[in-house]
Amino acid sequence: MGAWRDARLRLPREDIDRPEDRGCLQWVLGVPLALVYVPAVFLCYATLAMQPEPYGDRVREEIRFAAGLSLCFCLLGLLITITPLFRRTLGRWWFALPLLLATVAYVRAQTA
């Protein structure tokens, strides 16, 4: 058993997380996240660009709705990122964008 163990340790190990395969896999897994974050960025920008009128509540309600929808997209992106396959392949910086967008959308919804 000792010789078999030594031979097993000397053989190159096939692993799913090889560094040379990680680049392509990051691009493939990043596409669904980009498809979720593009509407979130657009809605967040739209909420920041809208200016509520001092006497009308309609625009304020539209800002709050768009901010809530942006928060939903950010939550969906976070749920996708938390899955083990994504978490093992992608870096921690993928958590930064949805957290930043969610914070901006939440603050805008509260200040509208």
In the chain, alpha helices (H): 2-10, 19-49, 58-82, 84-89, 96-111
Quick one: pLDDT at residue 2? 57
Q: How far is CA 57 from CA 46, 62, 81, 105, in A?
A: 17, 9, 36, 18
Terminal CA-CA length for the chain: 71
Token digits for 47? 């909420």
Each residue's pLDDT tens digit, 44-68: 999 999 988 887 788 899 999 999 9
77 neighbors 36 (Cβ within 8 angstroms): yes
pTM beyond cutoff 0.85: no
Each residue's pLDDT tens digit, 10-54: 555 555 555 555 567 777 778 888 899 999 999 999 999 998 888
